[in-house]
Amino acid sequence: MAQREDLPLAGIKVVEFTHMVMGPAAGGILADLGAEVTKVEPCQGDNTRRLQGSGAGYFAMYNRNKRSLALDLKSPEGKDIALRLVDGADVVIENFRHGAMDRLGFGYADLSARNPRLVYCSLKGFLSGPYEHRTALDEVTQMMGGLAYMTGLPDRPLRAGTSVVDITGGMFGVIAILAALQQRQSTGRGQQVTSSLFETTAYLVGQHMAQQAVTGEEPPPMSVRRSAWSIYDIFHSAGDERVFVGVVSDTLWRAFCKEFALDDLAADPALATNAGRVAAREQLIPRISALFASLPKTELMAKLDRAGIPFAPINKPADLFDDPHLNASGGLVSVTLENGQQTRLPALPVEFAGQRLGVRRDLPAAGEHSLEVARSLGLSDEQIDALVAHGVLKGADQLVPTS
C-alpha cells in the first residue's frame, strides 16, 4: 500500500473535518485520486465508526486512503495542531451544521486569512437562501425535492435504495474543488465552494421537471410511468428467474427479432418504428413474455448479449462480491474492517490510461496517524507525549473507551 506519485492528485493536501456520508465521500474520492487526505476525528473517534443497521457500512466505504488524526479541537493545543495542518493544506472539507465551524474558529474567513490559497469546501443541506439554516439529511431532501415521490408509488413516497443524494452531493463538491484548484492556478488564491443536498436533489429530478415543461403533463412516479419504449420491462425466464430487457432503438429491434427468430414481427411495417411498437405494446408484451418464459435464464441472457440488447439480471448488492466483471477488472478493492476482517468494496468507478485506482492506505484506526501528523508539523516527542497525557491528542492505541 505504498504511496503513488503518478496519481492525478498526488501532492494535493486535504484536511477533512467530516462525518457520515457526504463529506467522507468527497474526501474519499480525492484520496482515491491520489490526494493526501487527513481526516480529523474527535479523540473518541468519528461516531460514524459505531453506527449500526443501514449506517454500518458508511465508514468502511468512504474512508480508505486517508490518515486519521484524533484530536480535541476544543482545546487550545488541539486547535493549534489543526491550524498548523490547515496552514499547509490545499483543501479543507467540512460537512457540519451551519455555523459550527465558525464557532470553533475553523470557518472560511478564519482559515483563508491564514492560508489565502486554501480551497474550502462546505457540504451542507441547502445553498444560500431561506432554507440555509436548516439541518438536512439525504432522506429529508429526497422527500422535499420530489425524488422519493418519483421512486415510490403515487401514494407512498419511497427513498432511493442508497444514500444517492449524499454521494452525488459529495461528487458535486469534488467537482467544485477541482474547478477552484484550477482557477487558483491563474489567480493564486483559493475560495469557498459549497455543495448541498437539496440542490443536488433538484438537479437529479431536473429531467422530470423538464419532462413536464416539454409535455405539459406532470410526470407520474417511475413505478407507474408510461414507458418511452415498447420493450422496457422485467421479464421472467424459465424457473421464474427475472431479467430486465430494454429494446430502445429501431436497430436493436431488428437485431432482437433476428436473434429470437421473430421474423413476422420484423416484417410488420407497423412495428418498424418505436412509436408503432409502443402503440402495439399490449399485443407485444404477452408474446415476448411467453417467449422469455420458455428459455433458461443463462440461455436468455446469452442471446440478448449476442444481439447487443441491453439486459440485466435482478441482483442484490451482495451478488456484486462475486461479480466476474468487477473481480476481473479491479472493480473491487480490499480493505480491513475494524474487527480485522477483510472485505472487498467498490473502487472509484473510473479508469486512467486503462488502469483502476486502488488502495494505498487501508481503513485507518481512529488516531492511527496522530503521532505521524504531529511530528510532520514539527512537534517534538516531548510535546507529543504531553499532549497525549493531557488528552488533547490520541494515538490508535490510546483511544477513549466508548460504550
Mean pLDDT of 73-98: 97
User: Which residue has better confidence, 402 or 181?
Assistant: 181
The pLDDT of residue 228:
86
Same domain, 233 and 312: yes
pLDDT band at 3 (very low <50, low <70, confident <90, very high): low
Alpha carbon 130 to chain centroid, angstroms: 27
The pLDDT of residue 401:
44
Same domain, 185 and 38: yes
Does residue 178 fall inside a structural domain?
A: yes
Does residue 214 fall inside a structural domain?
A: no
**pLDDT tens for residues 388-397?**
999 999 987 6
Rounded CA-CA distance 190/195 in Å is 16
User: Which residue has better confidence, 395 or 138?
Assistant: 138
Minimum mean pLDDT among 88-102, 104-118, 219-233: which range? Answer: 219-233
Look at residues 317, 349, 375 and tell me which one is the last residue of a structural domain. Answer: 317
Same domain, 367 and 268: no
**pLDDT tens for residues 182-213?**
999 999 999 999 999 999 999 999 999 999 99
- By the 8 A CB rule, do 363 and 336 touch? yes
SS3 of residue 38 by DSSP = strand
Same domain, 172 and 240: no
Look at residues 263, 284, 317 and tell me which one is the last residue of a structural domain. Answer: 317
Q: Where residue 156 sits, what CATH number does that domain have?
A: 3.40.50.10540
**In the predicted structure, residue 96 carries a pLDDT above the cut 80:** yes
CB neighbour list of residue 303: distance below 8 Å, 6 or more residues apart? 259, 260, 295
**Which run of H or E residues covers position 40?**
strand 36-41
Same domain, 281 and 147: no
**pLDDT tens for residues 266-310?**
999 999 999 999 999 999 999 999 999 999 999 999 999 999 999
Same domain, 94 and 175: yes
**pLDDT tens for residues 100-121?**
999 999 999 999 999 999 999 9
Name the amino acid, one letter, at 265: L
Phi, psi angle pair for 338, to nearest 5°: -65, -20
Same domain, 235 and 298: yes
**pLDDT tens for residues 49-83?**
999 999 999 999 999 999 999 999 999 999 999 99
Does residue 220 fall inside a structural domain?
A: no
- Which contacts of 108-116 are long-range, i.e. CB under 8 A and separated by 24 or more positions? 108/192, 111/83, 111/86, 112/190, 112/192, 114/83, 114/86, 114/87, 115/86, 115/87, 115/88, 115/89, 115/190, 116/188, 116/189, 116/190
pLDDT band at 402 (very low <50, low <70, confident <90, very high): very low
pLDDT band at 398 (very low <50, low <70, confident <90, very high): low
Does residue 76 fall inside a structural domain?
A: yes
Q: What's the domain count of the chain?
A: 2
Rounded CA-CA distance 24/242 in Å is 35
Same domain, 240 and 369: no
Mean pLDDT of 306-332: 97
**In the predicted structure, residue 262 carries a pLDDT above the cut 70:** yes
Take residue 162 and report the three cell numbers written for it: 442508497
Give the structural domain span for 117: 13-204+324-394
Q: Where residue 237 sits, what CATH number does that domain have?
A: 3.30.1540.10
Rounded CA-CA distance 53/40 in Å is 24
Look at residues 265, 283, 317 and tell me which one is the last residue of a structural domain. Answer: 317
Same domain, 89 and 238: no
Same domain, 138 and 171: yes
The pLDDT of residue 254:
98
Same domain, 28 and 171: yes
